[in-house]
Structure 1
């Protein structure tokens, strides 16, 4: 295996530092599988999770990609050999799975890098919705991408004397986490998708220079904040937090406008807003872009059919499967 230079990674979610931080949300160990031949190279980071079911004293595992869209990605490939490279990668990773008792894998593919195109014949793909993004290459994102209603919200925030503050070091993570917890409780975000203050603080250390927080302040109070992450020419509206008591001053709209302004000044081509968990959030995000959304795709693959069936049948026989459509089934 040949380690891949960070500069060759197409997005922040493929960086090993990202994987190390967010792997803990999946309660497993972070791993990177770098596969290289004379005609190409693939990098793949994932989390190895122990399966909590005893099978004759043998411990089995499955894999999932860390929080955020990544999956296997082609780093380089000779012309006309991408399908061959993907097949060779798949065969090598199958050997890895055999050697490490890995039963199945679940992949959150990258929506804008579109790495599904190289691996669509290897994984069974599911569409999990759409992801919105703002095109910063237009002449004027404020006029060309924002709707008139959204422009009005930004102007309202300015009229209300909402101020902007940046944090590039994570010194205010405690304040951001306070706002984040308010939002998480209001929207009933499951514990699995809620991040601790400690994790966010560590992310500023491991991803130094690749993320920052933009705050909106009103009468001296922090009322809204967004954690932006970036790598190459891609900027991500990664996490956001708001105090609903101050929605009327439109601080969250000003924060997103400020992220776009920063992106333009620093040569970013897009601000990716991600998916939406509800209609209200979707309408808010769509107000900032006229660019067509992209599909959110996930992949799944069974690496050991015999053990997968044994585990699934066992859980079904015990009545421990609440969702028969879940993958892997034995975790449903």
Structure 2
């Protein structure tokens, strides 16, 4: 049994291991984690990959590493937080992937990774397991906890079958939008990227969304100019009124970021955007459309597109519990809310 830890400087080897575990989807790809790092929650983020090899079998775990120098109380403590890090899995989802469904192999991985984290002064780890890979089932040793249901659509089904899977109110809303002058088309125009970014940013401001959901235009452009992203825009009388930003590989597409101008909601622009995004991904050969999950109101909208469900599980691991507890105490002393359920508790909540 051997282990390796790779960085963005080792992309050839990283791709090699990604292929060995069966190309598990865009959120696990090295180029996606490289694009996301630094634009997700903290400027000091960097992507890493930990690999365990056991003969022909591999456990593949990409994640984002962050220095504890970015916590707000770093300057108020005598502890040198520059020697400590924590990690978070890819977003929307990630977690370890194994080439063999073997609990013993996963247990050995968990033990080896815990040793690695202690040696590297990685205090804590937050995992979002992948509902499409169902990798929480293989890693019971990491004590995954159910978080929420997600919605997905089988794009290999006949178009009529997909349509029949929509709730009646959703079909009516799509027909209503189709009777208007709204047009939904894929685009590679940077001006459209900017227009969508403006609409998306305004939507986040209106919702008072956390920093977790806010991105610079450069991230939008970089992602959409890669082979990972596609933007469909909705236009009405030559004005961009909404868009759906998708992240995908050859098999699966994810409803990544989506927003529309509230002045046009009565025209059911959101329903039409989702429908056209699904159909475009189906036409271009994708087999699955992952709507992901969301808060109750968001989930109610998404589930109107499909009866199919998956499950999102989360993991919270304290690799250095004494250091973790000390950091929580220091955070609490400086006024940070440490009992909200956010993990790690010593950081200011950025996701919701």
Indicate how the Cα distance of structure 1 residues 210 and 56 shifts in structure 2: closer, same or farther if over 3 A, else same. Answer: closer
Alpha-carbon distance between aligned partners in 1 of 2:29 and 2:324, rounded to the nearest angstrom: 30
Which residue, out of 114, 138, 150, partners 2:157? 138
Alpha-carbon distance between aligned partners in 2 of 1:171 and 1:120, rounded to the nearest angstrom: 46
The TM-score normalised by the length of structure 2 is: 0.85
Indicate how the Cα distance of structure 1 residues 316 and 231 shifts in structure 2: closer, same or farther if over 3 A, else same. Answer: same
Deviation at 1:222, TM superposition (A): 1.0
Alpha-carbon distance between aligned partners in 2 of 1:219 and 1:227, rounded to the nearest angstrom: 21
Q: Which residue of 2 aligns with 1:47?
A: 64
Which residue, out of 14, 34, 37, partners 2:28? 14
**1:120 is aligned to 2:120:** no
Alpha-carbon distance between aligned partners in 2 of 1:225 and 1:204, rounded to the nearest angstrom: 13
Which residue, out of 225, 244, 248, partners 2:262? 244
Which residue, out of 61, 69, 79, partners 2:93? 69
Deviation at 1:171, TM superposition (A): 5.4
Task: State the SS of the aligned residue for 1:325.
Answer: coil
**1:258 is aligned to 2:282:** no
Which residue, out of 187, 205, 208, partners 2:207? 187
Q: Which residue of 2 aligns with 1:3?
A: 14
Instruction: Report if the CA contact (8 A) 1:170-1:212 is conserved.
Output: no
The TM-score normalised by the length of structure 1 is: 0.89
Q: How many residues matched?
A: 323
Which residue, out of 161, 169, 178, partners 1:149? 169
Which residue, out of 232, 236, 242, partners 1:218? 236
Instruction: Report if the CA contact (8 A) 2:147-2:312 is conserved.
Output: yes
Structure 2, unaligned runs of 5 or more: 5-12
Instruction: Report if the CA contact (8 A) 2:37-2:46 is conserved.
Output: yes
Indicate how the Cα distance of structure 1 residues 151 and 26 shifts in structure 2: closer, same or farther if over 3 A, else same. Answer: same
Indicate how the Cα distance of structure 1 residues 209 and 320 shifts in structure 2: closer, same or farther if over 3 A, else same. Answer: closer
Q: Which residue of 2 aligns with 1:23?
A: 37
Name the stretch that deviates more: 160-169 or 246-255: 160-169
Instruction: Report if the CA contact (8 A) 1:217-1:251 is conserved.
Output: no
Alpha-carbon displacement from aligned partner over 1:109-160 (angstroms, at most 9, x marks no partner): 1111111111121x23222222111222333244321122211222111211
Task: State the SS of the aligned residue for 1:330.
Answer: coil
Indicate how the Cα distance of structure 1 residues 158 and 48 shifts in structure 2: closer, same or farther if over 3 A, else same. Answer: same
Alpha-carbon distance between aligned partners in 2 of 1:96 and 1:171, rounded to the nearest angstrom: 45
* RMSD of aligned alpha carbons: 2.1
Q: Which residue of 1 aligns with 2:325?
A: 309
Q: Which residue of 1 aligns with 2:10?
A: none
Instruction: Report if the CA contact (8 A) 2:252-2:287 is conserved.
Output: yes
Instruction: Report if the CA contact (8 A) 2:234-2:243 is conserved.
Output: yes
Structure 1, unaligned runs of 5 or more: none
Deviation at 1:314, TM superposition (A): 3.4
Which residue, out of 293, 299, 324, partners 1:275? 293
**1:103 is aligned to 2:118:** no
